[in-house]
């Protein structure tokens, strides 16, 4: 059974899922004042799981493209970013609290990995290189 008839429909479906996950995460956990009451470790886990979900959505929807290097780039960017975030998170949990500059760096990486901009950029790059 073929779920999507064209790559364009597959891409748009993935984009909608990424946008929904991104918006839900920011509405409920970043912009919500009540989320500040959640313990730090729980917030880290929520951020990590949200980022991993976006990674899997992109893997499912971008991974079926004919250009395999595109999915390899998606994997490389996300796995590298998740390794950086995980190592910073473990350092923060077990060794020493991170400075504001390092926390800002981690937020930037997490924002890049969850943002629909990366997904759209990969799609535009794939479409432009096909022509």
Residue 114 lies in a domain: yes
Residue 77 lies in a domain: yes
pLDDT value at residue 89: 87
Domain total in the chain: 1
Residue 39 lies in a domain: yes
In this structure, what DSSP letter does residue 6 have? S
Residue 34 lies in a domain: yes
Residue 61 lies in a domain: yes
Name all contacts of 128-131 with Cβ < 8 Å and 24+ positions apart.
129/67, 130/67
Residue 64 lies in a domain: yes
pLDDT value at residue 43: 86
End-to-end CA distance of the chain: 29
- List, in sequence order, the alpha helices (H) in the chain: 7-25, 40-62, 68-94, 100-114, 116-130
In this structure, what DSSP letter does residue 11 have? H
Residue 1 lies in a domain: no
Residue 87 lies in a domain: yes
pLDDT value at residue 104: 92
pLDDT per residue as tens, the chain (131 positions): 454 567 778 888 889 999 999 999 988 888 877 777 888 888 888 889 999 999 999 888 876 666 677 788 888 999 999 999 999 988 888 888 888 899 899 999 999 999 999 988 888 887 777 66
pLDDT value at residue 1: 40
Find the domain containing 31 and state its range: 7-130
pLDDT value at residue 65: 64
């Amino acid at each position: 059974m073929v779920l999507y008839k064209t790559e364009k429909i597959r891409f748009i479906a993935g984009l909608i899922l990424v946008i929904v996950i991104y918006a839900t995460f920011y509405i409920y956990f970043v912009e919500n004042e009540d989320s500040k009451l959640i313990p730090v470790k729980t917030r880290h886990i929520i951020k990590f799981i949200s980022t991993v979900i976006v990674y899997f959505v992109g893997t499912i929807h971008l991974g079926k493209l004919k250009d395999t290097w595109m999915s390899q780039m998606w994997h490389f960017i996300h796995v590298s970013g998740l390794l950086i975030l995980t190592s910073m998170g473990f350092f923060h949990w077990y060794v020493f609290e991170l400075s504001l500059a390092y926390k800002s760096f981690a937020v930037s990486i997490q924002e890049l990995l969850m943002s629909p901009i990366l997904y759209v950029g990969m799609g535009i790059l794939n479409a432009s290189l096909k022509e």
